[in-house]
Structure 1
Amino acid sequence: MVATVDRTPRIGVIGGSGLYDLELLEQVETIAVRTPYGQPSGDITVGNLLGVRIAFLPRHGTGHRLSPSEVPARANIHALRELGVRQIIAISAVGSLTERFAPGTLVVPDQLVDRTKGVRPATFFGGGAVAHVSMADPFCERLRADLGTAGKTAGYDLADGATYCCIEGPQFSTRAESHLYRSWGLDIIGMTAVPEAALAREAQLCYAGLALVTDYDCWHESEEAVTAGMVAETMRANVRAAREVLKEAVTTIDRTADCTCHHALTGAVLTDPAIIDAATRERCGLPVR
């Protein structure tokens, strides 16, 4: 009997600014996924990385055509889940709000503060089903640890733990805002972890971020204020490091692990199951009765 090879991509990678393809994949196929939430940011590239089947999606689309507020996060997370992804590594460019994280630093955040303005759909639920998932720890601790180990193996000293401040954008912070966020003890600032982290939790997926520090926002008196050009230039150097970390991560992550993230909806759905119709169940990722 010939053994069946599992070609399901259990690991998904969402690429941020500057990371629009991996250039590392073999046996590649491009998949267009339709979701109840519209089109994802683009077609999903599925291929082998060191023998591990993964799915890659550029968050801002090919050519960086989507602003942070326009990223169809619900469609992106839904599409990855439909392909069989159970763990997501989300890569993003961020600014630093502390001297500890100089430009070029790779950070694995552990906490998240939402400073977006409510224009981004942030839940799969509503319209016939209500759920309240726990977001006390917004990033998967197990996957965070795996990324940290992979970084060290790849020769990079990843900073373990940081509070990510997510702003709406697309404009960068004012100096007053930057100083305010620092006074709150926030560490890094970006525009995309919200609502991705919450949606991944609702989808019962593991989610961890790999944040690439590109600048000091605009609070640092001895550094110039952040510009798009500065972000792009630093990201070109950081992307190589991100790819090296990913190569190590995909071979060390336990793709079959049963994580608490995979049971995030247990006890979270308050709606009487008897009144949730089939279409709502499919849209929200609930088991079909």
Structure 2
Amino acid sequence: MEKYIQLKKFRSLMSLSVCKEDIERIWGRQYLKKIIDHHQRICKKRESLIVRKKIQIAQESVSSLLALKLVKFIGVTGSVAAGFAREEDDIDVYVVVRNKSMWLYRGIIVIRNLFHNKIRAKRHKEVRDKLCLNFVSEERGLKLEDDIFNFHELMYIVPIYNQRYLNFIYLENKWLVHKYNIRKELLEAEIEEEKSVNYFFQLLNFFFYYFQVIFMLVSRHNPELKRLKENNKRGKIEFFPIDFKFERIGEYSKKFPEIEKF
């Protein structure tokens, strides 16, 4: 039952709870029964109208995130997926693409966005209901660090394109079972990693990567440039503040030091 307590306390930092539906989905019906038998007070799922509206917007905008059959999966993450989004918030999305295509994909999306403006950009002063493409991963970069923050993100991600691929993401993060005891059924996936894109697309991918590097050098984004290079080797593009994750984990450890024994 300690894994439920860990998740419950982590979500309490956001003034959120863990509902019955989430417990059954993550750990199974028997685990839920065990918690109820221990007289734990559990709420039923209540999705706010704001969250529901933003998820619907994301679902209706999927076509603006697809390009050249490169996309394998799209999911809503962040405050919307967690359930505490505000009216003025944007909508974080996580996109998985084929190997050696993430910079090509991002380049295409950025160019197309000049015409439809559905995706958040620096030029936008109003970001409400904009899609925030701050995390793109190739299939080789699906594995995340095994911490409570990523556990929460993965368990609450809302698939909006190719839902069954989520099981493959879980399969690439086996620590979810070893460390947090999630249902093994969530790792059952028949999907196999595809081959890399053709050489022409790989060349374009190389071009868009170095275009981004040059842009960051000119803009003097030195700390972010180092992070960009490291993530490129691992098949990831991260344009979200990494400090937020560390602050949230630090807050969690400080407020609940007893959790360490679990």
TM bin, normalised by shorter chain, reads under 0.3
Normalized per residue, the structure richer in helix is: 2
TM-score where L is the length of structure 1? 0.26
TM-score where L is the length of structure 2? 0.28
